[in-house]
Amino acid sequence: MQSLQKLITRPLLSYRWRFHTSCHSQQDMLKGKVDKWKGVTVDLGSPDCGLEGTYIQTSLRELDAFAGMLRKSLKQWKTEGKRAVWLKVPILQSRFVPVAASQGFQFHHADKQYSMLTTWLPKDHCKIPHFASHQIGVAGCVLREDTKEVLVVQDRNRETSHMWKLPGGLSDPGEDFGDTAVREVFEETGIKSEFQSILTVRQLHNYPGAFGKSDLYIVCRLRALSHDINHCADEIIGCKWTDVGELATTQSTSLISTHVARLVLHGFREGFDTIDIGMKELPAVFKNMTYKLYHRQIPDL
């Protein structure tokens, strides 16, 4: 860990904040990129933003100069009919954030090493899109074809440790539903499996543990590729193959597991095509990207 004094002294020696001190208006302004929605984005981490420097600085004069540039820039952008202003601030330059907040900016989002602030210039209703609003949890309903059993676990969580539930967890960034299900099942139970379909999707708002956001819980039907359980003792206290009919009727599970078990019983009787939400991979309009589309599979699609 570096001492604060070091952090403060070093940039004073090795970097110098450079404010464009000319009295010509363009040089007192922040420089941003304009988008097609008449928005402006200024990245304080970019050498082209109109000011330069790094790290913790505490000179009042510097903050004051930034405040002046920002005020002037906002006035100019308003005159030009600009709408959203986006300010990207590297984490180590967060001393500028209170200055921007005092001129009407709020946090839009932040991730690891930067925060993004924004303000809406027109007087009408703010049209800045919200940041990501949902976390994704995925469970695997792993079925054995030979015994018609389903894989269930008891987790370490004290309040619900008596309940048998489907293994699962949160999606990693950029991970497809089925991949989360297969990965979480393997991590928690040692069972290998293969994605077949989605069985159900639950949407719940103000989810405890989602930092004020919403939660989607998605249950995937997986086909077991192995049968020998080797469960992760850190997360799981019990793991077993159980009769689907028993999961459908036990009180020691969640309402969603009961629903899933009843769907699966119906699937065993009438065919899984009666309960499956199937998946298809298709090319996106964006170059070299594909997406996964989930819907009922019908003959002519």
The answer to whether 233 contacts its own copies (rule: CB under 8 A) is no
232 binds its own copies (CB under 8 A): no
Query: How far apart (Å, rounded) are the C-alpha atoms in residues 220 and 199?
Result: 6
Q: Which residues contact 72 (CB under 8 A, 6 or more apart)?
A: 25, 28, 29
CA angle 207, 132, 235 (to 5 degrees): 50
Q: How far is CA 81 from CA 36, 49, 111, 120, 145, in A?
A: 13, 20, 30, 11, 64
Instruction: Work out which of 8, 34, 126, 225 binds its own copies, going by CB under 8 A.
Output: 8
To the nearest 10°, the Cα dihedral for 28, 30, 31, 33?
-150
3-state secondary structure of 18: strand
Alpha-carbon span 237 to 268, nearest angstrom:
29
The yes or no reply on residue 63 touching its own copies (CB under 8 A) is yes
Binding mask 166-185 for its own copies (x = CB under 8 A): ----xxxxx-xx--------
Q: Which is nearer to its own copies, 225 or 273 (CB)?
A: 273
Residue 237 in contact with its own copies, rule: CB under 8 A: no
Q: What are phi and psi of 75, to 5 degrees?
A: -60, -45
Question: Is position 205 an interface residue for its own copies (rule: CB under 8 A)?
Answer: yes
Q: Which of 41, 76, 135, 252 binds its own copies (CB under 8 A)?
A: 135
Task: Out of 52, 240, 256, 268, name the contact with its own copies by CB under 8 A.
Answer: 256
According to the binding rule CB under 8 A, does residue 130 interact with its own copies? yes
Q: Select the span of 17-25, 40-48, 142-150, 192-200 touching its own copies (CB under 8 A).
A: 192-200
268 near its own copies (CB under 8 A):
no
- Stretch 39-58: interaction string toward its own copies, x if CB under 8 A: ----------------xx-x
Residues 64-123 contacting its own copies, CB under 8 A: 64, 67, 71, 91-95, 97-99, 101-104, 106-116
Window 211 to 230, contacts with its own copies (CB under 8 A): 211-214, 216
What the block records as the tokens of 109 is 């989002």
Assigned token pair, 261: 């078990």
